[in-house]
A and B are shown apart, each in its own frame.
Chain A
């Protein structure tokens, strides 16, 4: 949870950042750091929609999304002392959420990655199911990085800043993920 100074960079964060008043967060964080659970509950209320939306990018089932969101806030509570307030709280919380989702994805079984059915919004349902089956064959870490690149629309620099990784680490992972995706599509 270090290096939140990098988040002082202006990140687009796409739809993640309809920013809440930072000052209010700062007060609540300070109170929560003093052990005020009610203040922390207020923080949860203020940020739960964003955390659910982000977790919903990676998990299909309600219980997984809820558990990922809950784990995010429980981790945030225990690590709150490491947040130095050099950047907005929501950026720090985004990093906690992404890390939490990652750790859960590692444990996800391949059969859990496939949808039970394809929604009507998807265009050609067969083509969509074919795409979902192919994505299910990707390693979770490969899918994760592709979702951040193409789903969230973040650049490698933005991903690095969000996760606290080096840009070269992100580039290596993105290269591997794309190579694996190409191989799977070609093998089709």
Chain B
């Protein structure tokens, strides 16, 4: 086993792979690599903070809840003329070939997957 293979196995197992550890035991550079990796594993396992919900947290959340559908329905009815105007404007823009981006993803998971898999953003790796 060479150093490259050993470090791959060490990284994959966070230092636990027995074969790679045997290599590291007789290789100074890989031994240092394994030591640093162990510390990183410890940092990953530890939570970054241990914070309990403050008193009244649930009540505060409740006070910030968005209007329910019924309320939204009434609000939408009151805003119907303005809504129609916006819809017409957007349709017109679309006809002119301008794409209207919807920045707020309907399903957060889709946006996250795009981000994680570099569909939108390169990570240079």
Kindly provide the distance from the CB of A33 to the nearest chain B CB, expressed in whole angstroms: 9
Complex contact B57–A44 (CB within 8 A): yes
- State in angstroms the CA–CA spacing of A121 and B69 once bound together: 49
Q: Which chain A residue shows the least CB distance to B34? A: A185
- Neighbour of B49 across the interface among A62, A95, A124, A182, CB < 8 A: A62
Number of interface residues of B (CB under 8 A): 49
Complex contact A176–B123 (CB within 8 A): yes
Q: Which chain B residue shows the least CB distance to A163? A: B109
Complex contact A75–B39 (CB within 8 A): no
For the residues of B in contact with A, the DSSP-based class is helix
Complex contact B47–A57 (CB within 8 A): yes
- Neighbour of A44 across the interface among B45, B58, B68, CB < 8 A: B58
Q: Which chain B residue shows the least CB distance to A74? A: B64
8 Å CB interface, A1-27 against B: 1-2
Contact A74-B65, Cβ < 8 Å, known A56-B49, A135-B44, A181-B40 = yes
Kindly provide the distance from the CB of A114 to the nearest chain B CB, expressed in whole angstroms: 11
Complex contact A150–B44 (CB within 8 A): yes
B78 at the interface (CB under 8 A from A): no
Complex contact A75–B108 (CB within 8 A): yes
Contact A41-B48, Cβ < 8 Å, known A150-B41, A178-B11 = no
Q: Tell which of A59, A164, A183, A185 has the most Cβ of chain B within 10 Å.
A: A185
Q: Tell which of B7, B8, B41, B65 has the most Cβ of chain A within 10 Å.
A: B65
- Neighbour of A185 across the interface among B36, B42, B54, B107, CB < 8 A: B36
Give the number of residue pairs across the A-B interface with Cβ within 8 Å: 161
B116 at the interface (CB under 8 A from A): yes
Contact A70-B109, Cβ < 8 Å, known A56-B48, A135-B43 = no
Complex contact B49–A65 (CB within 8 A): yes
- State in angstroms the CA–CA spacing of A58 and B107 once bound together: 21
- State in angstroms the CA–CA spacing of A62 and B53 once bound together: 10
Contact with B along A99-130 (1 / 0, CB 8 A): 11011001000000001000001111001101
Complex contact B36–A41 (CB within 8 A): no
- State in angstroms the CA–CA spacing of A60 and B46 once bound together: 11
User: A40-B65, A151-B45 known; 19 other A-B pairs, CB under 8 Å?
Assistant: A1-B109, A35-B69, A41-B62, A59-B49, A70-B61, A74-B64, A115-B48, A127-B36, A131-B40, A139-B123, A150-B45, A151-B44, A163-B112, A165-B109, A173-B117, A176-B123, A178-B11, A182-B8, A188-B32
Interchain residue pairs with CB less than 8 A apart (22)? A2-B107, A38-B62, A45-B58, A56-B47, A70-B57, A74-B61, A78-B66, A95-B109, A99-B112, A102-B115, A123-B42, A135-B43, A135-B44, A141-B116, A143-B44, A147-B44, A151-B47, A173-B117, A180-B123, A185-B33, A185-B36, A186-B7
